[in-house]
Amino acid sequence: MTTFGTRLEHAFNTFGQLCVGIDPHPDVLSDWGLPDDARGLRECGMRVVEASAGRAGIVKPQVACFERHGVAGLQVLAEVIAAAKSAGLLVIADAKRGDIGSTMEAYAEAWLNPQRDFGVDALTVSPFLGFATLQPAVQAAAQYEAGLFVLALTSNAEGQQVQLARDEDGQTVAGRIVRSVAASNAAAADQGKMGSIGLVVGATTAHLAEQNGIDLVAGSPPLLAPGYGAQGATAQSIRSGFGAAWGQVLVNSSRAILAAGPETHGLVSNIEQARTDLQ
């Protein structure tokens, strides 16, 4: 195994910076003519994996879409994760976990240990109980050569009420999170490599980093950017918004790609179009 940052760089060099979202929302299943149950989830997830393999380097299952179906849905999630890994795809679980102490340790073990049912390459996590609460996950990521994507500047408007709030020193919450991530990646950055601890920065909110004096380049964190396509961000606006950090950006597309289902050839076409657009 190699570090997640190294594996992600290889995926970028081989397939580009597209991340395909696996989001089997009820309306997607309905549009695809699939039942809103475990069978529908499995069919949707496996078709996206099939279409992505050899064309994109990374997929991102939205855990909530599977979790809403209880035990059966989580069983399907484990199957989709296993299929994606077998197909050579990096898998990011979009679960946004965040807690303290032994609870955070348990989340990290469940999602980052490759021997577990949900073992993935990287996990989205929330730092809003304090970045220090994520240390069990940071340590597990190092132990298992996995990655994290820490929420920083999310695309929802109300997120800015918290993320751009300033403390008595005039520092934004997001700025402190970004600096903590940079420090976690210091060793990799010193070697000229991409870090394994990344950030979630919305494609439609990336411009707020520069406006608020937040350095997204420091520490070379991978930057997971939702919002491309259906939420209005274009390849040009993402490049402009991230500026010098563009080379670190992993651009997620979910609805815009899934809209071409259920036929695999339609998904393939949209994946290839998005990949070309981003290049």
Per-residue pLDDT tens over the stretch 31-90: 999 999 999 999 999 999 999 999 999 999 999 999 999 999 999 999 999 999 999 999
Give pTM, 2 decimals.
Answer: 0.96
Q: Which residues contact 32 (CB under 8 A, 6 or more apart)?
A: 40, 43, 44, 261, 262
Alpha carbons 233 and 191: distance in angstroms, whole number = 33
* CA distances (Å), origin 177, targets 136, 142, 162, 164, 181: 16, 19, 12, 11, 6
Encode pLDDT of 199-256 as tens digits: 999 999 999 999 999 999 999 999 999 988 767 789 999 999 999 999 999 999 999 9
**Cα maximum dimension of the chain:** 55
Annotated catalytic residue 96: yes
CATH number, domain with residue 51: 3.20.20.70
- Which residues constitute the domain of residue 127? 4-278
Q: Which of 60, 85, 96, 193 is catalytic?
A: 96
Please give the tally of structural domains in the chain.
Answer: 1
Closest among 123, 166, 128 to 146, alpha carbons compared:
123
